[in-house]
């Protein structure tokens, strides 16, 4: 194995919480560490593709900031779930909309029409293809037709971004080549095994949001039952994946919601400060791995 494929990054999903990866990338760049290959899921896949397009955290930041300013994420409906301050009438309106959206999630493929999601992805990525990227990357998805956990690393980036971030019932799946592809995060939030299998990096660093089974006594019907069961299986699969990583950076997003895209800078700061404190340890582990590999 050549040294050019020595370091691999695995970037987790999590909606807006995945923005912590920009802070992670900033700290790693400052520490002189850059990936040779990347794997990402959902928002981690989008951040990873932007970084593979132009390997600079500042480029990723500007592209995401531009998307937020253009209200791309709001057009995808995420603003309904934010934790921002709202007056009584706004909260009432959003509560009604949330219930309508949950009903739609059961009665149709998605709350957001495919054309709307495609337009948003096209606006960000245009006709960019994986073959145009400066760093090799794969993103994960789940094929409903075959019941398979899959990866995408060829073709148009815009299609892959729809597939890897298609939250079941909320964002539309990608229907292509006989497949119906949804968010890879329904299986695992950290795509370490695909990264290891396809690109074979010698040192895998995983940046992930903190996930755990919180204690709950109240559930609002069958949809939340389903989500709870799905969370259990997803966390267990992810735990198995993480055993194959050489270093795991787990960042707690505290009171920041998965839909709080307007709080971009807060997410970045959390990712940056937490990762910055680990740089010396990461560099030492990379150094030791290289010694073992080259001797």
CA–CA distance, 112 with 101 (Å, rounded to integer): 9
Residue-level pLDDT at 170: 79
Of 159, 177, 134, 146, residue with least CA distance to 45: 159
Give the separation between CA 181 and CA 185, rounded to whole angstroms: 12
CA neighbor of 43 nearest in space, from 6, 76, 69: 76
Mapping DSSP onto H, E and C, the string for the chain reads CCHHHCEEEEECCCHHHHHHHHHHHHHHHHCCCCCCEEEECCHHHHHHHHHHHCCCHHHHHHHHHHHHHCCHHHHCCHHHHCCCCCCHHHHHHHHHHHHHHHHHHHHCCECCCHHHHHHHHHHHHCCCEHHHCCCEEEEEEEECCCCEEEEECCCEHHHHHHHHCCCCECCCCEEECCEEEEEHHHCCCCCHHHHHHHHCCCEEEEEEECCCCCCCCCCCCHHHHHHHHHHHHHHHHHHHHHCCCCEEEEECCCCCCCCCHHHHHHHHHHHHHHHHCCHHHHHHHHHHHHHHHHC
CA 147 to chain centre: 21
Give the per-residue pLDDT at 112. 80
Short-list 211, 210, 204, CA closest to 233: 211
Point out the residues of the chain with pLDDT beneath 70. 1-4, 75-110, 212-213, 215, 219-223, 294-295
Spatial distance between the Cα atoms of 76 and 16, rounded to a whole number of angstroms: 12
**Global confidence as pTM:** 0.87
Q: Of 193, 119, 115, 107, whose CA–CA distance to 150 is shortest?
A: 193
Give the chain's length. Answer: 295
User: Exposed e or buried b for every residue in 187-206, given b needs 16+ CB within 10 A?
Assistant: bbbbbbbbbbebbebbbbbb
| pLDDT per position as a tens digit, 87-142 | 433 443 344 345 545 555 555 666 788 888 889 899 999 999 999 999 999 999 99
pLDDT at 4: 66
Task: Give residue 192's pLDDT.
Answer: 97
Q: Which of 168, 190, 172 is CA-nearest to residue 237?
A: 190
209, two tokens: 């949001």
């Amino acid at each position: 194995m050549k040294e050019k494929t020595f370091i691999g990054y695995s970037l987790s999903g999590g909606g807006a919480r995945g923005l912590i990866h920009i802070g992670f990338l900033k700290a790693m760049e400052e520490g002189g560490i850059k990936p040779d290959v990347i794997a990402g899921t959902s928002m981690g896949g989008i951040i990873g593709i932007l970084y593979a397009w132009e390997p600079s955290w500042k480029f990723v930041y500007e592209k995401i900031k531009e998307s937020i300013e253009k209200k791309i994420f709001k057009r995808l409906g995420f603003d309904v779930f934010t934790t921002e301050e709202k007056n009584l009438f706004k909260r009432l309106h959003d509560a009604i909309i949330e219930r309508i959206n949950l009903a739609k999630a059961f009665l149709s493929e998605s709350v957001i029409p495919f054309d709307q999601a495609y337009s948003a992805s096209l606006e960000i990525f245009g006709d960019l293809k994986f073959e145009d990227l400066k760093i090799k990357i794969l993103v994960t998805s789940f094929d409903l037709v075959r019941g398979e956990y899959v990866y995408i690393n060829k073709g148009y980036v815009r299609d892959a971004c729809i597939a890897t971030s298609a939250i079941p019932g909320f964002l539309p799946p990608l229907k292509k080549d006989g497949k119906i592809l949804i968010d890879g995060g329904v299986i695992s939030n950290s795509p370490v095994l695909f990264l290891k299998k396809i690109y074979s990096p010698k040192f895998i660093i995983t940046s992930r949001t903190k996930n755990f089974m919180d204690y709950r006594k109240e559930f609002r019907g069958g949809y939340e039952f389903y989500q709870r069961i799905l969370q259990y299986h997803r966390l267990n699969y992810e735990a198995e994946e993480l055993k194959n990583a050489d270093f795991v950076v787990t960042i707690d997003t505290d009171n920041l919601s998965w839909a709080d895209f307007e709080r971009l800078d807060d997410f970045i700061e959390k990712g940056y400060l937490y990762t910055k404190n680990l740089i010396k340890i990461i560099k030492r582990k990379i150094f030791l791995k290289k010694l073992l590999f080259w001797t």
